[in-house]
Amino acid sequence: MVEDTLAPYVIEEARSSRSRCRTCRKKIEKGKLRLGILLEGPYGTGYLWHHLTCAARRRLEDVEAAYAQPAFEKGLKVPALEKLQALQEKAEKERADRKELPYVEKAPTGRSKCKRCGAGIEQDSFRVVLAREVAFGSQVRSGPINVHPKCVAEELDTEDCMTEVEGFGEALHAHSGLDAATVDAALAEIGSLG
Ligand SMILES: [Zn+2]
Ligand SMILES: [Zn+2]
């Protein structure tokens, strides 16, 4: 009953317009490149399909594994893996830009500065992103600012700060996308908030 002839991944041009992309939920038009990920479930074995580009944005590890296999026939025109990796990076950045405030992250570089004290934020140390009121001409909007954990209490106390003390810890847990222990470690560095 095990169909061990099926490869874990397949990349091909959709043979019909009947499959649906598991990432974007839209139809995969006939002829479009699709990635199939083998699923062995209680009801049998089969491929779950994704647009190749959708898969690159959301699950690049699978795309990389499929290219390494390789999961496509010689002669099939597939985009260079670097192109798909670039798609993923762009999507990642867009997701980060859409992140709800406040959140905490590990500073990816040592180049950012704390908006409260002006000092640099060390690479790999916690960087807390809060909302501060920013005026664009006559418009007032809230924009993200980076601060040190130890500068959070002071920033939350200012009038321009749009992040509230109330529920701060819960919001940080909900928005950061990190495991609870890591967020708790950041909260410990932040200390008590008035
Ligand atoms: Zn899709
Ligand atoms: Zn600071």
Ligand nearest the Cα of residue 51 is: 1
Question: What percentage of residues in the chain have a pLDDT greater than 70?
Answer: 97
Q: Note whether 78 and 112 are same-domain residues.
A: no
Does the residue 3 lie in any domain? no
Given a cut of 80, whether residue 24 has pLDDT beyond it is yes
How many Å apart are CA 186 and CA 145, to the nearest integer? 17
Q: Note whether 74 and 122 are same-domain residues.
A: no
The dihedral over CA atoms of 63, 67, 68, 70, expressed in degrees to the nearest 10, equals 130
pLDDT (tens digit, 9 = 90+) per residue, 113-124? 999 999 999 999
Does the residue 45 lie in any domain? yes
Does the residue 59 lie in any domain? yes
How many Å apart are CA 27 and CA 18, to the nearest integer? 7
Count the domains in the chain: 2
Q: Note whether 164 and 125 are same-domain residues.
A: yes
What is the radius of gyration, based on Cα positions, of the chain? 23
**What is the distance in A from the centroid of ligand 2 to the CA of 94?**
26
Q: Note whether 112 and 68 are same-domain residues.
A: no
Does the residue 119 lie in any domain? yes
Taking ligand 1, which is a single-atom ion, which protein residues have CB atoms under 5 Å away? 21, 23-24, 51, 54
SS3 content of the chain, % helix, strand, coil (to 5): 30, 25, 40
pLDDT (tens digit, 9 = 90+) per residue, 119-140? 999 999 999 999 999 887 888 8
**What is the distance in A from the centroid of ligand 1 to the CA of 63?**
14
Q: What is the pLDDT of residue 101?
A: 93
Give the pLDDT mean for 37-45.
88
pLDDT (tens digit, 9 = 90+) per residue, 44-90? 899 999 999 999 999 999 999 999 999 999 999 999 999 999 999 99
How many Å apart are CA 61 and CA 81, to the nearest integer? 11
Which of the listed residues 48, 74, 96 is the one where a domain comes to its end? 96
Given a cut of 90, whether residue 98 has pLDDT beyond it is no
CATH number for the domain harbouring residue 109: 3.30.1740.10
**What is the distance in A from the centroid of ligand 2 to the CA of 31?**
54
33 strand-pairing partners: 13
Does the residue 122 lie in any domain? yes
Q: Note whether 81 and 129 are same-domain residues.
A: no
Does the residue 144 lie in any domain? yes
Which of the listed residues 47, 66, 96 is the one where a domain comes to its end? 96
- The DSSP output letter for 151 is G
Range of the domain at 113: 103-190
Does the residue 147 lie in any domain? yes
**What is the distance in A from the centroid of ligand 2 to the CA of 148?**
4
- The DSSP output letter for 4 is T
How many Å apart are CA 173 and CA 175, to the nearest integer? 6
Question: Residue 113, Cβ neighbours under 10 Å: how many?
Answer: 13
User: Is the overall model pTM greater than 0.75, yes or no?
Assistant: no
6, 7, 5, 9: which is closest to 59 by C-alpha? 9
**What is the distance in A from the centroid of ligand 2 to the CA of 145?**
11
DSSP assignment of 63-103? HHHHHHTT-S-TT-----HHHHHHHHHHHHHHHHHHPPSSE
Does the residue 4 lie in any domain? no
**What is the distance in A from the centroid of ligand 1 to the CA of 65?**
19
Q: Note whether 154 and 114 are same-domain residues.
A: yes
pLDDT band of residue 1 (cuts 50, 70, 90) is very low
Which of the listed residues 96, 121, 155 is the one where a domain comes to its end? 96
Q: What is the pLDDT of residue 4?
A: 57
Q: Note whether 119 and 48 are same-domain residues.
A: no
